[in-house]
Amino acid sequence: MGRLKLQSGIKAIEEEPEEFDVASSTKATLACMINSEIGAVLAVMRRNVRWGGRYMSGDDQMEHSLIQSLKALRKQIFLWQHHWHTINPLVYLQPFLDVIRSDETGAPITGVALSSVFKILALDVIDQNTVNVEDAMHLLVDAITSCRFEVTDPASEEVVLMKILQVLLACMKSKASIMLSNQHVCTIVNTCFRIVHQAGSKGELLQRIARHTMHELVRCIFSHLPDVDNSERALVNGINTTNREGAGLNNEYAFGNRQLENGSINSEYDAQQLSMNLANASVGQAAAGLDEDTIGSGTGKETVPYDLRLMTEPYGVPCMVEIFHFLCSLLTVVENVGMTARSNTLAYDEDVPLFALGLINSAIELGGSSIRQHPRLLSLIQDELFRNLMQFGLSMSPLILSMVCSIVLNLYHHLRTELKLQLEAFFSCVILRLAQSRYGASYQQQEVAMEALVDFCRQKTFMVEMYANLDCDITCSNIFEDLSNLLSKSAFPVNCPLSSMHILALDGLIAVIQGMAERVGNGLIGSEHMPVSLEEYTPFWMVKCDNYSDPNHWVPFVRRRKYIKRRLMIGADHFNRDPKKGLEFLQGTHLLPDKLDPQSVACFFRYTAGLDKNLVGDFLGNHDEFCVQVLHEFAGTFDFQDMNLDTALRLFLETFRLPGESQKIQRVLEAFSERYYEQSPLILANKDAALLLSYSLIMLNTDQHNVQVKKKMTEEDFIRNNRHINGGGDLPREFLSELYHSICKNEIRTTPEQGAGFPEMTPSRWIDLMHKSKKTAPFIVSDSRAYLDHDMFAIMSGPTIAAISVVFDHAEHEEVYQTCIDGFLAVAKISACHHLEDVLDDLVVSLCKFTTLLNPSSVEEPVLAFGDDTKARMATVTVFTIANRYGDYIRTGWRNILDCILRLHKLGLLPARVASDAADESELSADTGHGKPLTNSLSSAHMPSMGTPRRSSGLMGRFSQLLSLDTEEPRSQPTEQQLAAHQRTLQTIQKCHIDSIFTESKFLQAESLLQLARALIWAAGRPQKGNSSPEDEDTAVFCLELLIAITLNNRDRIVLLWQGVYEHIANIVQSTVMPCALVEKAVFGLLRICQRLLPYKENLADELLRSLQLVLKLDARVADAYCEQITQEVTRLVKANASHIRSQLGWRTITSLLSITARHPEASEAGFDALLFIMKDGAHLLPANYVLCMDASRQFAESRVGQAERSVRALDLMSGSVDCLAQWASVDKETMGEEEAARMSQDVGEMWLRLVQGLRKVCLDQREEVRNHALSSLQKCLTGVEGISLPHGLWLQCFDMVIFTMLDDLLEIAQGHSQKDYRNMEGTLVLAMKLLPKVFLQLLPDLSQLTTFCKLWLGVLSRMEKYIKVKVRGKKSEKLQELVPDLLKNTLLVMKIRGVLVQRSALGGDSLWELTWLHVNNIAPSLQSEVFPDQNLEQSTDVAGGDPVSDETGHVPLAETPPEVAAGGG
């Protein structure tokens, strides 16, 4: 508790100096604490013999100076009245520091003094505002780092070392630490590392603490990096002094040597180094190395050391650069020290690198992205660190590999924009090599590499950035493609059970896919990607992007570059088969110019992966002038700046195979030497020197590495061979010696490996990579939108679906199933959003296999098996989820989905309403009054009865049936498990929402809808003539129901579906010979479609109604079975839609259907009902349907089915329709032009003629009532036509074809048929005879003007003559005997009054007069004298010509004729 109060007291001093009491008490407390520390040190010193007694040497000094200074301090501390921060800390620290520095004190004393210093630091009294704090901190660090003591026993030594660590860490963590200089910070780290090194031979605890302290120091130092301003010697506390550019280090200042003999930190240093185990030898050498100039000298030429002044300023970037460089050098030392025969001991391999990598990881974690502000730190990471990471990445130790991967992941997070090629190299040379067993990696290495890769995949933008930066760059490898292939392959269990590795790879794949799926929701950028094409040649290696940070620029640029890269690969393939054709192909795709130029061919060779290096070598070595130019351009694409000759030569010869012929070799090397000398002329006098030396290296390489050469060249031989080649002078011996050893150690491969595989990272390749990284395009950073996902997904979708499917197939745990399902759904989402229909189809096909619904059912209880199979149930739900969510983009996949639905249907697992459509309920409720509703007629017709209520076709209703299938005797009750399984099945099916696929089909895109309809038709199968199995028929019926449902749901898009639906129904109708559920469904479905669609689709009305002609084509037996229902439906159709049917074609179909029913006992009533609806009061009669309706009515009138009363009503409908004709005739005259009116008038006339012709036929009916009613209807139609102007010609036709024909036919019937068939024919003949003169006289005024009048009149007379002579049942008819003369007399009288029948002058003879009397005399001889009583024949002739009345009487209306005459018309 005291300590806590003390702390708050200190703060009080700082914040409220005026409160004297608090302040003074705190001062006193602090004084007490320091006093007690003095006491503690003195107490320990007194225990030691050396310090315990007084010196008796006669010296003046009675006490040792160390004790004196402590006692002097004791006197002072209670006298101080000022605030502590105004007191120089050295005053109260110095006595303790002297003790620490003294080499006379033993370990216990030094330990206590260190503890005291630690406590004083912990009090936080010293901060940046304390007087003289800078000197105090410097002296403090100097004292601690040069601590000396006598080693008495190992344990006490460890304690002191531990306390040194404690104090150093406290220094760095104290508020005053910012006053430390760069130099001091380096010293602290150096000291700490020495202790780490020494701890190797001491206790485990010290080792752990030392390492932990080192970590803490690094964390403490690098945590300040984000606060440093952006300059080379930037300071943590922001104090700026002179700015100095520069890089590198000078070890004199970095880590000074403070080694002292007895009891220094490095006590017994040399002895240890000999006795240490191998692990520590490396740390030892590293530590020893700290004191030499070699560490941190970097690459020699590049480093510019920090100057002394910079190192003595308050600490900032310089010390961080030094420390980071030192940590990297630890890795390099390990690498250089002992990769010898001993190096396979894991302890050695692991210990130091792990320690160094851990420290580096901490530095990067805390420095974060601010590292990029400091070029020297960044370049250390880009080059030295990454080079080492590549090396250690291939370590056999999983621990090291894991740490390397963690560092790279951190670097990716913070610095990826600066590490583009380094990351590419890491993935291709480390991850892709280790994650596959074929490169010899152990299972542990593979697992660690795969885990690392999966971690990368979980970074949302990782794969996109790899694709955009590497796959789409012609000079880089396809890392995205390689990684996604690796994941797919690694997820595939080939001939082995599923392992954690497979699941790991699957996780990676699914992470990538889910990343894409998430981006889909963030707005598609240019979702409809325009295909890239090259219209004209532009140098492909020069393509640049205007703005790498703006997606509008970089997305098209990247896609174009990928297109070029793909085309180059295809070109390479062609080139490898035939170089000439390959170049022609590239010219055709505008990647090379129409007229080849050397530069473009050189760049094709240089930047295209997959070329056959033998062919490239032959081409480049060729003596042809063009090939030589290409060779020089090719050499010009290399950057040999500041490169060793052997490195440059290695890189050059990696790109092609050096030809075998000496001339070709010479040409190639000449081009190389010219380029090398141009860029690195440092030692060489001229390009010839470069050429000769290159030749010499090739020869040395052959000599050293060819097994056939027994006597190998020595270093002296090599140097001797190269005398005087440098412009007559010699090259430096060290230069040649270095070349010699480089070639001996590392062969130049003149036959580089071809294309495939992932290369090793060699030193020369690393140098090349560093060169390239300076010139490579900027790193593109992607955000969370789907810029390139379409292209990426197209590359990986196939293998991904296959991999997930295989894992799903092999998996046995539910969490793995769920992972796979998530993957499937993500794939579906991406496919749909990027409109990749074929991918979605593949996915659906794949998933349908897992539902087990498509497997031929060998299981006894498929429903229970399904309920027990979790995988199948999950797959089923997924299939239907995809169908419901992404149906728009399913094409051929609908077939598989339907197969699943049909299987569920066969198992009786579908909800009852799957096949009904959205509008059914309203239809049923509205139409209950009209006969039996259709929808249910089918279900009941083809669903087997199960002894359960109507719900049996639903889910639960089938359970009882399923559990007692095919058994006579009652089975035992289902077990708990069976019930549970069935329950699970039901829940699964409910989750599927199968019905909504069809009810929601109106929202499907057109193409998908069409494919769904086609799939239904395909699933139904072709109808077979003859017997098909009940199961097939059930399927066909079900499919047809679904087809009709989607047709009705998509009435707005009926045009799309109609053709297919119609053809399918037509097939069924035409191939069915017996009534069955299928044909019933087809016919009534068709009628329902028409009923529902006519109101909405007037333009399709004809098409729809024409389809009903199929009903007319039904087989007689089928038609007979369904006639009544069909008629009810047609009636319903007519009543609902009569106003929508306009065309003759449509009406023809309707009336044909109605006409047929006239002869059908059950159907005729409904058929007549429909006809009545159309014709009554002319409600729906139109010029278009008039004739058709007349024909139909006549069919009903003639039909003997039903009562005669109906025939009479049909005749009334016919005769009543004359009013419509009159109406049309009058309306049209008013509204139309002359021509149209004339045409309409003609049409009306023809309709009227058809009407009377129809009635004429009914006049011959066997039934007297119908016959006579037809006659009176005919009379009405012939005489009641005042409103219609019928041309004379039409009336003549009417007499010929209707009236005369009817009279003749009746006569024939009366004479030829028995009374039994035609009852009371006499009455009919009387009616018919009365009709003749009535019509004749009504038309007399018009007809008498015609030239053919005489012929007509004679026709009338001849009919009367026949009728008076007719014999009915063998004797003449009395009624006719009386009637005919009366009628004739009446007619003659009217003709006389009208002046039609008069005797004319005898000049030309008067045939009408003579012929009339000729016939009349045959009928009734007395008539002439009765009609013309007061004239004989001759007189009449004289008078007739001048008869004044004749003209007028022609116009006397019938009403004005004498009553007795008029009566004759009877």
The alpha carbon of residue 613 and the mean position of all alpha carbons in its chain are separated, in whole angstroms, by 40
Identify the CA nearest to 982 among candidates 959, 998, 960, 1009.
959
CA distance 1353 to 493: 106
Q: Which of 829, 818, 803 is nearest to 874 (CA)?
A: 818
Alpha-carbon torsion 1380, 1383, 1389, 1394, what sign? Answer: negative
Element (H, E) at 1359: helix 1349-1365
**Element containing residue 1449 per DSSP (H, E):** helix 1445-1449
Residues 1397 and 1416: their CA atoms lie apart, in Å, by 13
Residue 1111 half-sphere exposure toward CB, CA atoms < 13 A: 32
Q: What is the DSSP secondary-structure string of 1404-1418?
A: S--HHHHHHHHHHHH
> CA-to-CA distance for 1145 and 1249, rounded, in angstroms?
21
Q: Please, what is the Cα angle at 523 between 522 and 526, to 5 degrees?
A: 140
In eight-state DSSP terms, residue 436 is S
Is residue 144 within 8 Å of 168, Cβ to Cβ? yes
Positive or negative torsion for Cα 1038, 1040, 1046, 1049: negative
Token pair, residue 629, equals: 């130019």
Annotated catalytic residue: which of 19, 261, 661, 760?
661
Return d(Cα 143, Cα 90) in angstroms, integer. 12
Q: Which residues are paired to 726 by β-bridges? A: 729
Token pair listed for 1353: 């009149």
d(C-alpha 656, C-alpha 613), whole Å? 4
Contact 1106, 1059 (CB under 8 A): no
**727 Cβ neighbours under 8 A, 6+ residues apart:** 685, 686, 688, 689
Structural Rg of the chain based on CA atoms: 57
Chain mean position to CA 1415? 97
Query: What DSSP assignment string belongs to 523-537?
Result: -BSSSSPPPP---S-
Alpha helices in 811-892 (DSSP H): 814-833, 837-850, 862-868, 870-886
Q: Which two tokens stand for residue 1111?
A: 């009903």
Contact at 8 Å (CB) between 289 and 295?
yes
Q: CA 207, CA 198: separation in Å to the nearest integer? A: 8
Encoding tokens for residue 374?
A: 């400091």
Amino acid at 34: I
- H helix runs in 1259-1320, sequence order: 1264-1279, 1288-1294, 1301-1312
CA distance 711 to 704: 9
**Torsion of the alpha carbons at 1085, 1091, 1095 and 1099, rounded to the nearest 10:** 60
693 neighbors 721 (Cβ within 8 angstroms):
no
Pure H helices in 732-813: 733-745, 763-775, 789-810
Element containing residue 380 per DSSP (H, E): none
Q: Is 1103 a catalytic residue?
A: no
Residue listed under structure tokens 């033993």: 106
Tokens, residue 875: 């797959």
Active site residues: 661
